[in-house]
Structure 1
């Protein structure tokens, strides 16, 4: 499955997908229709599927226009049917949806929003995590609790190490600056930040990351790690409490 990054707004990523075997073309979280249309026209493709992870406008703002233009099927969370217009396929945790020769498993991952879902294309080892899991970070808790988000992140970190992670925003460098304050002795994190700095210097994306990389470097996936717990003065504390403290610190971080 081919995945094309389409930048939008200040730091969003929209993803255009193509299943080579069937020729089906999808888009994930089209907050803006215009750059998606431009990419499709440049490649001579017609859109068949629109995948939505959550209801925020910077992720769904272009969906209705794209649906009307291409008669594409809109796929999203059953729990968000009341606030995502035009849903054709409504899914919940554990459901599967077919995209050409590919099949995506749906994870319900509340925390950032109450109805947030993620799409994992198992055969392609590709995850679209929206604003739940970021490279070196996680989403703010606008509608969920720390316990919900910690559970959601544990579900995603259980995927294969080689799973590529495509998230909603280019936040890696700022996330990493925070990560170094709560995991300062992590050699893998320091190396990752050097790679990130080089990529951003060339104005290149830091996405995709991988589940394996995030398991080693993302403090929000490591709230149960003794090193992270010790660094923030919470050795032996329940993991959900450590996660909550990490999220609280990130919310107030200015680095």
Structure 2
């Protein structure tokens, strides 16, 4: 199983999961359809399915154009608001595409119908992968647009946090440097955060992606997965893990340097769901 990372828009990722024997592929969040079609043609791949994490335009807007181009294409997702949806899935539902297996992980909070996808290949010794959309990022987590801290806690600890430790994390956006700057504010003595931030800045300078990480690594430096750590609790002034998460997310929402502050009209667009988190 090969995962192709494709950078699109300002900081989005879309992905192709490729079964190398058959040259068949599954797309995750193909927001820029013409770019995807170019890659499929260039690499001689056949697109059989789309997995959509959530309905926001920067993840789902390419679905309808791709279905028009490939009429037999199936579009999977957990929300009726997803454009081009042909198959609505539910949590723990499993899909199979030849030797590629997909388990749908229901993770409501960023949106009420958000779905992550845990993927592995029969007979393959490579670690599994999880496509986390806007629920879990490298060093961070998504905004609570349509949900609660309780839901995100469940997503991070009971759903994603219990996957195999070597699972590769493929998230929906390149937010790593900013996430790790916040992680360093939370845990200024965490050497792993410092090491990762230096690495991520170098990747950013070279215009290279920071995905994937692994679940094991995320537990070392992602404050949203370190809710029981004394240093994280000290930063938030809370000990209950859900309250720690709630405070962390509020602090992260306000973690902007002056030059990065969102203009009023852009903030309205965010509230209307027109922009990414």
Aligned residues: CA RMSD: 1.3
CA–CA distance in 2 between the matches of 1:145 and 1:232? Answer: 17
Partner of 2:114: 116
Does the CA-based 8 Å contact 2:61-2:83 persist in structure 1? Answer: no
The answer on whether the counterparts of 1:223 and 1:229 sit within 8 Å (CA) in structure 2 is yes
Q: 1:75: which partner in 2?
A: 76
1:12 paired with 2:16, answer no
Higher mean alpha-carbon deviation, 104-113 vs 40-49, is at 40-49
Gaps in structure 2 of 5+ consecutive residues: 122-126, 258-277
Residue matched to 1:193: 197
Query: Which residue does the alignment assign to 1:131?
Result: 134
Alignment of 1:177-192 (within 5 A): 177-192=181-196
Separation of aligned partners in 2, 1:140 and 1:176: 16
SS in 2 for 1:179: helix
1:168 to 151, 172, 178: 172
Within 5 Å, give how 1:67-106 maps onto structure 2.
67-71=67-71, 72-77=73-78, 80-81=79-80, 83-106=81-104
Instruction: For 2:195 and 2:94, locate their aligned partners in 1 and report how far apart those are by CA, in whole Å.
Output: 36
Quote the offset at 1:30 in angstroms: 1.0
> Whole-Å Cα distance in 2 between the matches of residues 130 and 140 of structure 1?
12
Deviations 1:48-99 (A, max 9, x none): 111101010100101111112123111111xx12x12332222111110112
Q: Would you say the 8 A contact 2:129–2:168 is kept in 1?
A: yes
Contact 2:49–2:76 (Cα < 8 Å) also in 1: yes
Instruction: Kindly tell me the number of residue pairs found equivalent between the two proteins.
Output: 250
SS at match of 2:47: coil
TM (norm. structure 1) is 0.94
Q: Secondary structure at the match of 2:4?
A: strand
Q: Does 1:226 align with 2:230?
A: yes
The 5-angstrom pairing of residues 18-57 of structure 1 reads: 18-57=18-57
Give distance in 1, aligned partners of 2:97 and 2:225: 29
| Counterpart check, 1:145 vs 2:148 | yes
Structure 1 runs (4+) greater than 4 angstroms displaced: none
Alpha-carbon distance, 1:187 to partner: 1.2
* Residues 23, 44 of structure 2: 8 Å contact kept: no
Q: Deviations over 1:108-155 (max 9, x none)?
A: 001100110100014451000000000001111110011101111112
